[in-house]
């Protein structure tokens, strides 16, 4: 399993939020490139970049995203946050992203998703952000009215690069992962699972690996020092 360092962007800075709440910011690194370099220096090679402002319609960090994904070869970036146009997907891939994460429009507009996935097979990752077992959209602010099982079944035929499943109820809490949720997802899909939300210990990561997750996104535990980044990179960065 791959350990993936989160780089969440807000107002040009790298931040960490508690529970996905825009008003509950706990960590801020003013230079996102410095955050990237910090995790790169200890051995991370995989990064998940999210434009929080774009996701919530509060602005854009497109210039910062471009600077991050143009870094040296050998690094892999998945990029998401407010990606709702096919042209933006193409632009991010051309700019160095290895995969593009689409969430709200992917859930709300299956015809659009099928078209984008067919244009870029294996490089579009669908974000299924889950609170309880309901998929939420619009930067985690709205319930979709769709159960996770229903969404997974609809995504199964598409040529996706994977599914990013975030346990919103665990995000930023430093209270562990929803292992039952992730095990259930793996059992219901052929797509790669990128698990996110609540990673706090090495045992959390080992648990996700044991249930078959392809990758795990780690944010708050890295930025607060709850996890030893070098140990994580040594065991899980491929």
- Predicted confidence at residue 17, as pLDDT, reads 80
More confident: 71 or 37: 37
- Using 50, 70 and 90 to split pLDDT, how confident is the model at 138? low
**Residue-wise pLDDT tens digits, 174-216:** 778 999 999 999 999 999 999 999 999 999 999 999 999 999 9
- Residue 8 a catalytic site member: yes
- Predicted confidence at residue 229, as pLDDT, reads 96
Domain extent, residue 43, equals 2-237
Q: How many secondary structure helices (H) and strands (E) does the chain include?
A: 11, 12
Instruction: Check: CB of residue 185 under 8 Å from CB of residue 151.
Output: no
Both tokens assigned to 188: 């219901």
Q: From 195, 199, 196, select the one nearest 175 (Cα to Cα).
A: 199
70: domain CATH number is 3.20.20.70
Query: DSSP letter at 146?
Result: E
Structural domains of the chain, count: 1
From the candidates 51, 53, 129, 178, which is the catalytic residue? Answer: 129
Both tokens assigned to 109: 């507009």
More confident: 50 or 143: 50
**Residue-wise pLDDT tens digits, 221-237:** 999 999 999 999 999 97
Give the list of residues 6+ apart from residue 99 with CB closer than 8 angstroms, or none: 76, 77, 78, 79, 123, 124, 125, 161, 162
Q: Helices 229-236 and 32-41 sit at what angle, rounded to 10 degrees?
A: 60
Q: From 234, 188, 237, 231, select the one nearest 217 (Cα to Cα).
A: 237
- Predicted confidence at residue 134, as pLDDT, reads 76
- Using 50, 70 and 90 to split pLDDT, how confident is the model at 24? confident
From the candidates 8, 53, 178, 204, which is the catalytic residue? Answer: 8
Query: DSSP letter at 232?
Result: H
145-164 mean pLDDT: 92
- CA 98, distance to chain mean position in Å, is 13
**Residue-wise pLDDT tens digits, 43-54:** 999 999 999 999
- Residue 228 a catalytic site member: no
């Amino acid at each position: 399993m791959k350990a993936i360092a989160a780089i969440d962007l807000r107002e040009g800075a790298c931040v960490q939020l508690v529970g996905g709440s825009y008003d509950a910011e706990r960590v801020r690194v003013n230079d996102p490139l410095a955050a990237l370099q910090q995790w790169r220096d200890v051995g991370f090679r995989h990064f998940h970049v999210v434009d929080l402002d774009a996701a919530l319609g509060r602005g854009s960090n497109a210039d910062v995203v471009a600077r991050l994904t143009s870094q040296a070869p050998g690094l892999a970036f998945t990029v998401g946050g407010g990606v709702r146009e096919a042209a933006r997907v193409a632009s991010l891939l051309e700019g160095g992203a290895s995969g593009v994460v689409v969430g709200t429009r992917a859930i709300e507009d299956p015809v659009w998703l099928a078209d984008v996935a067919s244009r870029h097979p294996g490089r579009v990752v669908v974000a299924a952000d889950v609170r309880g077992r309901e998929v939420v959209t619009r930067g985690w602010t709205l319930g979709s009215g769709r159960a996770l099982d229903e969404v997974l079944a609809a995504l199964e035929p598409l040529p996706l690069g994977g599914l990013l499943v975030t346990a919103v109820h665990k995000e930023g809490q430093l209270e562990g992962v929803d292992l039952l949720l992730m095990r259930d997802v793996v059992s219901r899909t052929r797509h790669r699972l990128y698990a996110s939300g609540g990673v706090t210990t090495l045992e959390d990561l080992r648990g996700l690996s044991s249930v078959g997750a392809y990758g795990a996104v780690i944010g708050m535990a890295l930025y607060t020092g709850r996890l030893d980044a070098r140990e994580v990179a040594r065991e899980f960065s491929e």
